[in-house]
Structures are given as C-alpha cells and as structure tokens.
Amino acid sequence: MERKLFTALQGDTAEKLNDSLSKQGFRRSQNVLYRPSCSDCAACLSARIAVDRFTPSKSQRRLVKRNGHLARRASSPWATEEQFALFRRYLDARHADGGMADMDIFEFAAMIEETPIRSRVVEYTDRESGDLKAVCLTDVLDDGVSMVYSFYDPELHRQSLGTWMILDHIEIAREARLPYVYLGYWVPNSPKMGYKAQFDALEVYRRGRWERMHDTRDYEMEMHPLSTDPIAEQVANISLPDSRS
C-alpha cells in the first residue's frame, strides 16, 4: 500500500516552496507536492542529472543525430487537442493498464494547465511535416528543469524518444545555465525505470541527501528514513494523478 507525504502548492510562496522541496526529493502533481513515505520500503528514489558532469555515451550521441529532424518549441502550459490525441495513443500503447489510462481531455488539460509555478510545455515536431511527435511538461526551478511528464508517438520506438527528450532537456538546462535535470523517481530493478540509470552523472536522493550513483546494485530495499518520523506516521493514504516522468 502506497503512502505519501504531501503539501499544497499555492499562494505567493509557491515557487519558493517548490524549489526548496524539489531539492528534498519531492515531486509536483498539479498544485500538490508529494514524496513517497512508505513505512517498510524506500524503493522510490528521486533522481536528477548533474549537467556539468554529464558526458553522453556513444549510443546517446547516435540517438541525438538520429532525431536531428525534430524541432523543439517551448510555450506556456496550455493543452491542445493535438497533444491529447498523442497522449491517448501513447497511453493505449504503453500504459493501457496504468493509473492514467482513463484520463479524459478535461483531466489532461488540468494536468497541463493547473500549475502555480513557472512551467512550460515543450513540443517536438517533425521539421518537414510539422507533425507533433513528443511532448514534455517541464517545470523551471531555481537550480534546474524538472520533467514532470512526457509522452511521445509510440510507433517511433526505434527512436527512443523518451531517452532523447532527457538528452534534449540536458541541453535546455545547459543553455539556461541551470545545474540539474530532475527526472522524477527511479526504482531499482524496475524495467520501466531502468533507462534513467543509463545516464552519466545521475544522482539520487537517499537518506536525506543527494549522492552520485555509481552502481545500481548498491540500491536495495531498505527502511524509509521517514518511517520513524511522527509527522510521516500521520500521513493518510491518498490518491494523486500520476504525473511522474
């Protein structure tokens, strides 16, 4: 049973709160910040890439060249029918049994547009046809960019667009002189999360601090550091829209 520690994200201090708690492993879901707080498990580890230390692998460099025909466009967080159509195709092909499978266009619009902080919708289109191929909802923090949720054309699986969007966000952070790209949670031994561990200079938030990952085998199940925290013990089970990247 999943348990979360959470707080509302609102008011004049929303951006400052988001910046501060993101550095402590929290993630945003619309106007809520949350962090897993399970009493017997610490498998969900917040992950980020240190931009200055990142060096792409040979396969990642090839991937960048392979997707050179795609153009990036960042805009204010506004949902469109074209985005929703791509989102539905992505869910139906990749996450048909997931918690977001039944989302309608109004819930999708809320996921994109209900943000009390500085957010952007980053669209990737084919330079020739203009067709939308991938989208990422991205928050801009004081120390980086946070990939809140991304989706892409499921028929283009050979182009590894999920991985490529992370590589492009590293460039976005570098252009903006921001030190980190926040990726959401990484779970050891999870096939769906394995791609995150393939990035050089990956850091995870563990036992109250960020540490550089060297070997994925070092991260096994352990007691959550908040399991003896009296505040965490009062946190009720809640259901939030799954907007993790």
**CATH number for position 209:** 3.40.630.30
Which element (helix H / strand E) includes 11? none
d(CA 245, CA 241): 12
Beta strand extents in 64-114 (DSSP E only): 70-75
Residue 1 lies inside a defined structural domain of this protein: no
Residue 3 lies inside a defined structural domain of this protein: no
The two tokens of residue 194 are 């394995």
Tell me if residue 38 falls in helix, strand or coil: coil
Residue 7 lies inside a defined structural domain of this protein: no
d(CA 113, CA 78): 6
Answer yes or no: are the C-beta atoms of 164 and 32 closer than 8 Å: no
Residue 4 lies inside a defined structural domain of this protein: no
Residue 27 lies inside a defined structural domain of this protein: no
Answer yes or no: are the C-beta atoms of 176 and 160 closer than 8 Å: no
Claim: this prediction has a pTM higher than 0.95: no
Answer yes or no: are the C-beta atoms of 50 and 203 closer than 8 Å: yes
> Domain of 98?
45-216
Integer angstrom CA distances of residue 138 from 120, 182, 234:
5, 10, 31
pLDDT at 106 (0 to 100): 95
b/e map 223-239, b = 16+ CB within 10 Å: ebebbeeeebeebeeee
Residue 202 lies inside a defined structural domain of this protein: yes
* Distant-in-sequence, close-in-space partners of 116: CB < 8 Å, separation ≥ 6: 9, 10, 11, 14, 15, 31
Answer yes or no: are the C-beta atoms of 115 and 31 closer than 8 Å: yes
Cα pseudo-dihedral 152, 188, 144, 201, rounded to 10 = -110
pLDDT at 103 (0 to 100): 86
Report the domain count for the chain: 1
pLDDT at 96 (0 to 100): 66
Q: What sign results for the dihedral spanned by CA atoms 239, 240, 242, 245?
A: negative
Residue 232 carries which side chain, given as an amino acid letter? Answer: A
Residue 10 lies inside a defined structural domain of this protein: no
- pLDDT tens for the chain, 245 residues long, are 788 999 999 888 999 999 999 999 999 999 999 998 888 788 889 999 999 999 999 999 999 999 999 999 999 999 999 999 999 999 988 776 766 778 899 999 999 999 999 999 999 999 999 999 999 999 999 999 999 999 999 999 889 999 999 999 999 999 999 999 999 999 888 888 888 999 999 999 988 899 999 888 887 655 544 444 444 444 444 444 444 44
Residue 63 lies inside a defined structural domain of this protein: yes
